[in-house]
Amino acid sequence: MHRQTRATSIPVKVKAAVAERDCNHGPATCILCGAPGGPHCHVVRRSQGGMGVEENIVTLCDKCHYAFDEGLFMDRLRPLGFNSREDIRTYIIDYLKGFYPDWSEEKVRYKKWD
C-alpha cells in the first residue's frame, strides 16, 4: 500500500475512538442531525491529503455526509441552520476544536516529505 493511501485511510482503532467521541453516550450518531451514522467522514478530504486520524474524522449519517461532500440533501439540514456546505464545514471544524483546541487543516493534512 502506498504511504499516502495508508495515511489517508481510516484505521479500525481510529474509527472506534471517533465513534466513542461522537456517540453521545449511546450508539454512534451523526454530529449534525443525530441519526445513526458511522465514523467515516474526512473533514479535510482524502483527495486533498486529509489523513485518517481522529482529528480529521467525524461521525455523519449517509445523507449528512453527502450534504457535506456533494451538497446533496441540504433541504433536510436547513431547519437545523445549515444552508450551505460551508455552514456544515464551519460547524464540524468548531466541533473538532472543542476536542482539539489547536486543530488546524495543516495538522491533519498528509505531508509527503515528513
pLDDT tens-digit profile of 41-96? 999 998 899 999 999 999 999 999 999 999 999 999 999 999 999 999 999 999 99
Cell numbers describing residue 12? 479500525
pLDDT attached to residue 30: 95
pLDDT attached to residue 68: 96
Average pLDDT over residues 34-42: 93
Average pLDDT over residues 26-54: 92
Coil, helix or strand at residue 101: coil
Whole-prediction pTM: 0.88
pLDDT attached to residue 40: 93
Q: Of 65, 11, 43, whose CA–CA distance to 109 is shortest?
A: 43
